[in-house]
A = this chain, B = another copy of it.
Amino acid sequence: MEYNEKHIKIIEAAEKLFSDNGFNGTSVRDIAEAADVNLAMISYYFGSKDNLLVAIFKYRGENTRQLVSEMIENKELSPLEKFYTLIDFYIDKFQNQQCFHRVMAREQIIHTHGPVATAILSVKKTNMELIKQLVQEGQRKKQFKKEIDISLMMNTLFGTVNHLYTTKHYYKELNNLQSLSDEQFEKQLRKKLSVYLKTLFKAILTYED
Which residues of A are at the interface with B, using a C-beta cutoff of 8 A? 20-25, 102, 105-106, 108-110, 112, 117, 120-121, 124-125, 128, 149, 151-152, 155-156, 158-164, 166-167, 169-171, 173-175, 192-193, 196, 199-200, 202-204, 207, 209
Contacts and interface: CB of A to CB of B under 8 A. Distances in A.
A25 B26 CA distance: 11
Contact of A193 (B106, B152, B163, B166): B152
Given A151-B174, A164-B155, A193-B152, A106 B108 contact: no
B149 A196 contact: yes
Contact of A110 (B21, B158, B207): B21
Contacts of A24: 22-25
Contacts of A200: 156, 200, 203-204
B163 A151 contact: no
Contacts of A173: 121
A183 to B, nearest CB: 18
A96 B119 CA distance: 29
A110 B17 CA distance: 11
A173 B121 CA distance: 8
A167 B160 CA distance: 14
Highest count of chain B CB atoms <10 Å: which of A24, A152, A196: A152
5 contacts: A23-B25, A128-B174, A155-B164, A159-B160, A199-B209
